[in-house]
């Protein structure tokens, strides 16, 4: 699944990285997302999982996309317009899109005339050990039994389901957020490697005297003289405003708390007890030395889901992609001491993971 610009990491680049795995295909949410991949040379099947309006059909057909359909009128219209392959979405409890599992039999005539290449469902709580996934699978199996003929491609598992069971009983699986370094917590048999690092530079340093405030609304007040570093990244870059007074960044591998509200373009850190200079690279998400600020932890501090945090970095963060053999390198350390990284005070910093974003 590389919808939402590959969860904020860049769909074209991520597709290129995933090609070595020889995937069956890719999943997107919109025709424009699929067309972007086609323009970049992706030739595998691309399934559009959000239901399309009829006026989107010509563009989907021209880009050789595979829509997810669940209504008789949409299936007929797609076939009449020569659309090609499509997948039947079956709602087994998500109540979002697709034909309800109880009503698949009512589509028998249209499915006989226009059989789907594939059929799928979507789990709403696969990370929970509450029996809902098993119930949805039973519903899926009952719905499949009502089809005139079994489709060639069947799929159900999202990331949490993939993490908890292998092999799949279906044709393919649909890993999503797992690919971007986010796991689903206790009970998972697999744990992802972190692949995202968000970094920015210190652009200002000042000593704030006892009792002075920092940032909007004066929510942070210095207890004694404090040294404050200003980092060139804010909520317009995807670093959430809610991390004000709650978030933590890494400066030379050491933790520095966010001081005051995160502003649109800048974030302030309390670096009183740390070595820090203007131009230093600060890690807002990811690894620096032995410390890791994982996506889940940063999202928890921001009171958002990891999905929201990741997709928020689509805004104006420039992206630097790094080969996987650099995954264990420390970007800040390399930059300061030579090696694989570029100079910390010039250009972008490379190393330290499959992808680094840097602002400033």
* Phi–psi pair at 171, nearest 5 degrees: -75, -45
Establish whether 26 is a catalytic residue. no
- Strand 99-100 versus strand 87-91 pairing type: parallel
Kindly provide the residue ranges of all beta strands, DSSP E only, lying in 34-172, ordered along the sequence.
46-48, 66-69, 87-91, 99-100, 118-120, 153-155
- Among residues 7, 26, 216, 239, the one annotated as catalytic is 216
Task: Pull the structure tokens for residue 196.
Answer: 């995202």
- Residue whose C-alpha is closest to residue 341's, from 332, 282, 360: 332
Pairwise CA distance, residues 34 & 2, whole Å: 10
List own/partner pairs for 90-94 with CB under 8 A and 24 or more apart.
90/119, 90/120, 90/121, 90/140, 90/143, 90/144, 91/121, 92/121, 92/122, 92/135, 92/136, 92/137, 92/139, 92/140, 92/143, 93/124, 93/132, 93/135, 93/136, 93/139, 94/121, 94/122, 94/123, 94/124
Task: Pull the structure tokens for residue 49.
Answer: 């999982």
Establish whether 235 is a catalytic residue. no
Reported as type and span, the H/E element at residue 355 is strand 355-359
- Strand 319-321 versus strand 355-359 pairing type: antiparallel
Helices 31-39 and 11-18 meet at what angle, rounded to 10?
60
Task: Pull the structure tokens for residue 137.
Answer: 């699978």
Reported as type and span, the H/E element at residue 112 is helix 108-113
Pairwise CA distance, residues 330 & 341, whole Å: 8
- Among residues 3, 7, 26, 239, the one annotated as catalytic is 3
Contact 86, 75 (CB under 8 A): yes
Residues marked active site are found at 3, 216
């Amino acid at each position: 699944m590389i919808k939402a610009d590959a969860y904020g990491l860049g769909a074209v680049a991520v597709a290129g990285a995933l090609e070595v795995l020889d995937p069956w295909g890719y999943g997107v949410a919109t025709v424009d997302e699929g067309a972007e991949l086609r323009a970049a040379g992706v030739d595998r099947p691309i399934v559009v999982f959000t239901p399309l309006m009829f006026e989107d059909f010509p563009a989907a057909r021209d880009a050789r996309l595979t829509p997810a359909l669940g209504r008789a009128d949409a299936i007929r219209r797609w076939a009449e317009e020569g659309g090609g392959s499509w997948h039947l979405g079956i709602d087994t409890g998500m109540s979002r899109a697709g034909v309800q599992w109880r009503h698949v039999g009512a589509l028998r005539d249209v499915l006989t005339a226009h059989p789907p290449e594939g059929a799928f469902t979507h789990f709403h709580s696969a990370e929970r050990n509450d029996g809902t996934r098993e119930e949805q699978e039973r519903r899926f199996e009952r719905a499949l039994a009502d089809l005139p003929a079994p489709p060639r491609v069947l799929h159900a598992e999202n990331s949490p389901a993939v993490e908890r069971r292998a092999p799949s009983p279906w044709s393919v699986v649909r890993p999503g957020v797992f690919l971007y370094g986010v796991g689903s917590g206790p009970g998972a048999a697999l744990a992802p490697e972190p692949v995202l690092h968000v970094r920015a530079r210190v652009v200002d340093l000042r000593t704030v005297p006892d009792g002075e405030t920092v940032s909007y609304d004066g929510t942070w007040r210095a207890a004694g003289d404090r040294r404050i570093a200003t980092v060139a990244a804010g909520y317009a870059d995807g670093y959430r405003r809610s991390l004000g007074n709650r978030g933590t960044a890494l400066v030379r591998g050491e933790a520095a708390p966010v001081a005051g509200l995160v502003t649109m373009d800048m974030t302030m850190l309390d670096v009183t007890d740390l070595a820090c200079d203007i131009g230093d690279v600060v890690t807002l998400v990811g690894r620096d030395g032995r410390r890791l600020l994982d996506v889940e932890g940063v999202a928890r501090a921001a009171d958002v889901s990891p999905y929201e945090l990741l997709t928020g970095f689509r805004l104006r963060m420039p992206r630097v992609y790094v080969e996987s053999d650099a995954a264990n390198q420390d970007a800040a350390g390399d930059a300061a001491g030579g090696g694989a990284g570029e100079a910390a005070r010039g250009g972008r910093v490379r190393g330290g993971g499959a992808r680094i974003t840097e602002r400033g």
